[in-house]
């Protein structure tokens, strides 16, 4: 039986802007009610009002710093009355530049959000998802950066390698249950990612940028279909294919040159 989002409750982290916002819009278009989670409450309230008016869905706004150690317990407490059956782990950010000059607090916050929170949130909600009689879905937003060690983005690419592989492994573990896990792996996307990461004007912020709405639409389709992995965009798919055929030294040399302008030392 096909997975139907209509009248389901979906939780979207990092829902205020970018891919997260577009994912929320796609879910609402399919009839899902939404728990919208991010730090910026005003942006979440604007999105909630828009989706309630345009799509006639229910929403709940939760303004929360997901890098806080107790973020998962706080979030779970605020959704205990809702039958959430779709989890979208989208929240994340990148810290760039030479590793030795990385601001330690930002590095640890990135690890907390991109890896620890995502893992804890998935584990906390999974028992409820497994009990859903109509099945459930988990969509984790990984990255093309997770396919390689990226110089000047050492920590970030490592976190996304974790997300990519964690999602794939969990998908196999749960294959005999009603829960399907999808890893959405975009490349460069038209979002505020580059501004937050300090990459404005960099070479990578200018090439092969996919609209966030296009990435989100493809991701939601893949999630509904129960696909384990989706590399967004034909150019990115070709890039992953080329990575698999290329020696690692060549990959490192090419990627190192592509990201050379992120060296802030």
Q: What is the pLDDT of residue 2?
A: 83
Task: Please report which confidence band the pLDDT of residue 235 belongs to, taking 50, 70 and 90 as the band edges.
Answer: confident
Total domains in the fold of the chain? 1
Q: 195-211: per-residue pLDDT in tens?
A: 544 444 544 445 567 89
Task: Please report which confidence band the pLDDT of residue 194 belongs to, taking 50, 70 and 90 as the band edges.
Answer: very low
E strand intervals along the chain = 9-13, 33-38, 59-63, 84-89, 136-141, 179-185, 189-190, 210-211, 229-231
- Range from 42-56, 158-172, 205-219 carrying the lowest mean pLDDT: 205-219
Task: Please report which confidence band the pLDDT of residue 257 belongs to, taking 50, 70 and 90 as the band edges.
Answer: low
- What is the torsion angle, in degrees rounded to the nearest 10, for the CA atoms of residue 117, residue 118, residue 123 and residue 124? 50
The whole-angstrom separation of Cα 182 and Cα 212 is 18
Task: Please report which confidence band the pLDDT of residue 262 belongs to, taking 50, 70 and 90 as the band edges.
Answer: low
Confirm if 10 and 86 have CB atoms less than 8 A apart: yes
CATH number at residue 170: 3.40.50.720
Q: Of all helices (H) and strands (E), which one includes residue 212? A: helix 212-225
Q: What is the pLDDT of residue 131?
A: 97
Q: What is the pLDDT of residue 208?
A: 61
Query: Of 9, 117, 147, 156, which residue is the catalytic one?
Result: 156
Q: 72-100: per-residue pLDDT in tens?
A: 999 999 999 999 999 999 999 999 899 99
Total Cβ atoms within 10 A of residue 59: 21
Residue 3 lies inside a defined structural domain of this protein:
no
Q: What is the pLDDT of residue 252?
A: 64
Q: Which of 125, 155, 126 is nearest to 143 (CA)?
A: 155
In 139-191, alpha helices (H): 154-173
Total Cβ atoms within 10 A of residue 153: 25
Residue 2 lies inside a defined structural domain of this protein:
no
Residue 253 lies inside a defined structural domain of this protein:
yes
Mean pLDDT value across the chain: 89
Residue 57 lies inside a defined structural domain of this protein:
yes
Dihedrals φ, ψ of 247, to 5°? Answer: -65, 150
Domain limits at 189? 9-262
Q: What is the pLDDT of residue 241?
A: 66
147 is annotated as an active-site residue: no
Task: Please report which confidence band the pLDDT of residue 236 belongs to, taking 50, 70 and 90 as the band edges.
Answer: confident
Residue 238 has pLDDT above 90, yes or no: no
Residue 34 has pLDDT above 90, yes or no: yes
Task: Please report which confidence band the pLDDT of residue 244 belongs to, taking 50, 70 and 90 as the band edges.
Answer: confident
């Amino acid at each position: 039986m096909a997975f139907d989002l209509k009248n389901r409750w979906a939780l979207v982290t990092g829902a205020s802007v970018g891919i997260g916002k577009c994912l929320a819009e796609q879910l609402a278009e399919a009839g899902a009610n939404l728990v919208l989670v991010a730090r910026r409450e005003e942006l979440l309230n604007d999105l909630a009002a828009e989706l309630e008016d345009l799509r006639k869905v229910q929403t709940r706004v939760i303004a929360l710093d997901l890098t806080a150690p107790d973020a998962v317990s706080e979030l779970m407490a605020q959704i205990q009355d809702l039958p959430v059956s779709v989890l979208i782990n989208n929240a994340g950010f990148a810290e760039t530049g030479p590793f030795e000059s990385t601001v330690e607090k930002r590095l640890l916050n990135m690890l907390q959000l991109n890896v620890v929170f995502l893992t804890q949130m998935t584990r906390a909600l999974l028992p409820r998802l497994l009990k859903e009689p109509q099945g459930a879905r988990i969509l984790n937003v990984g990255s093309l950066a997770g396919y390689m060690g990226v110089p000047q983005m050492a920590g970030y690419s490592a976190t996304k390698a974790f997300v990519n592989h964690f999602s794939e492994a969990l998908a196999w573990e749960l294959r005999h249950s009603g829960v399907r896990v999808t890893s959405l792996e975009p490349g460069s996307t038209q979002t505020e990612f580059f501004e937050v990461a300090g990459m404005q004007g960099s070479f990578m912020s200018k090439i092969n940028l996919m609209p966030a709405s296009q990435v989100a639409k493809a991701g939601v389709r893949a999630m509904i279909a129960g696909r384990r992995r989706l590399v967004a965009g034909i150019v990115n798919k070709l890039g992953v294919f080329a990575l698999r055929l290329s020696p690692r030294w060549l990959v490192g040399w090419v990627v190192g040159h592509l990201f050379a302008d992120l060296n802030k030392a």
